[in-house]
Amino acid sequence: MRKFILLAVSGLLAVSMMTSCSGGSDGNGGGDGGPVVKIGVFEPQSGDNGAGGKQEALGMQYANALTPTVDIGGETYRVELVFADNQSANDKAPSAAQTLVSAGCSVVLGSYGSGVSIAASDTFGDAGIPVIGVTCTNPQVTQGNSHYFRICFLDPFQGVVLANFAKEMFSATKAYCLAKQGDDYSVGLCNYFMEAFGPENCVYETFPEGTSDYSSYVANAKTAGAQVFFSPVSTEAAALIIDQAATQNLGAPLLAGDTWDSNVILNAAEGKDIELFVTTFYQEGGDAAFDEGIKDWINSDQQNIANNGGDDKIAATSAMGYDAYYVALEALKAAGSTDPGDVLNVLSDVTYEGVSGAIAFDEIGDAIRSMAYVKACDTDTATWRFVTTQGV
């Protein structure tokens, strides 16, 4: 059991919701007169990771539509989702976090993107507000603090899974690794991959912020004779890398982590002569009731379809967002209070059987996970094909 300092959070302030997202099941922000508990949604809705952030938030919104109330201490509360766009930018993350602190959120979910999660951590910690990370996989998110938890596997695990997959699936002995300069997620995951694969067998490069031409990096991978091309970067960069891999006939499979599990990637790869594999948290078909329900819900509203990338394909991030919402409800029920300190005090003992698997936390707040899904992109149909589940 971790020890916590209970901090009181006072001064609830009204916060404007983003026009692309509804506050709760009726969207009236508590106008029905009943008690309201606020759950913060700390997700990028713009910037490099905006597409992934929107899909992660969709899972929370769908769960909120199904379960708009929660019983806390013998009283029924309506759950209001309060959104703050961290813009995929580390320098914008603290102010977005402060928005949720000022709103009086009892618990916060997010973010898609480890860098923004790390950048905002102190803001939440200083306010005593617990945060449940959804797909932020860098170990630094939970290190050195007692308020940040997460329900996803970590990059040291994911890096080993991908390195083992490259060796076992392709008999690869040389890998090219490409990360974005200063990006905690891509730099970190590349390092874990190389450590497991063998650094002496890897060619490693980074590209700066604002890069739009990846032709030289793909050419360098070909020149090096790389048998796999590993680049766990944002979906915007990934789409351009995919274009160059096809244009230059890379001749080696593209590998990436969970950020590439996106409709953006499927659309970029459609019709191209490439091989592409990702590790991720959920595969469509894993829970039939969830799949059917969220597809119906996405298709019921044009904004939902737009936020999902233009169709109803289920992203693993949406399944994880869905599970994170219910973990938050379990914590509120266990606390019997909406006070963030009370929620923080019980969160480490919360367990939940989610659509992505059983969820429980270890002593530092990380999820106890031992398996990842590996999926391949079918470039003919622009869909994901399940390959295997793999541990370390």
HSE-CB for 62 with a 13 A CA cutoff: 34
For residue 76, pLDDT over 90 is answered with yes
Contact 118, 138 (CB under 8 A): yes
Average pLDDT, the chain: 91
Q: What is the pLDDT of residue 391?
A: 76
Q: Residue 389: which pLDDT band, with cuts at 50, 70 and 90?
A: confident
Q: Which residues, 6+ apart, have CB-to-CB distance to 95 below 8 Å?
A: none
User: Rounded distance, CA 313 to CA 28, Å?
Assistant: 29
Question: How far is 206 from 146, CA to CA, in rounded Å?
Answer: 32
Q: What is the mean pLDDT of residues 46-51?
A: 92
Which regions of the chain carry the CATH code 3.40.50.2300?
36-153+286-359, 155-280+372-390
HEC assignment per residue over 4-73: CCCCCCCCCCCCCCCCCCCCCCCCCCCCCCCCEEEEEEEECCCCCCHHHHHHHHHHHHHHHHHCCEEEEC
Q: Provide the percentage of residues in the chain whose pLDDT is more than 90.
A: 86
What is residue 29's predicted lDDT score, i.e. its pLDDT?
41
pLDDT at 1 over 90: no
Place of tokens 């469509």: 284
76 forms bridges with which residues in the sheet? 71
The contacts of residue 342 (CB under 8 Å, 6+ apart) are 6, 335, 336
pLDDT at 58 over 50: yes
Q: Is the pLDDT of residue 16 over 60?
A: no
pTM of the model: 0.83
CATH of domain 155-280+372-390: 3.40.50.2300
Per-residue pLDDT, averaged over 367-385, amounts to 94
**Does the pLDDT value for residue 233 go beyond 50?**
yes
Is 36-153+286-359 a CATH 3.40.50.2300 domain?
A: yes
Q: What is the mean pLDDT of residues 361-366?
A: 96
pLDDT tens digits, residue range 241-290? Answer: 999 999 999 999 999 999 999 888 999 999 999 999 999 999 988 899 99
101-121: average pLDDT: 96
Tell me: the pLDDT tens digits for 314-362? Answer: 999 999 999 999 999 999 999 999 999 999 999 999 999 999 999 999 9
Task: Evaluate whether 257 touches 279 at the Cβ level (below 8 Å).
Answer: yes
**Residue 385 pLDDT exceeds 50:** yes
Predicted confidence band of residue 25 (pLDDT cuts 50, 70, 90): very low
**Mean pLDDT score, 109-120:** 95
Query: Distance of CA 293 to CAs 61, 63, 182, 305, 389, Å?
Result: 12, 10, 39, 14, 24
Q: Tell me the pLDDT band of 175, cut-offs 50, 70 and 90.
A: very high
d(CA 312, CA 353): 24
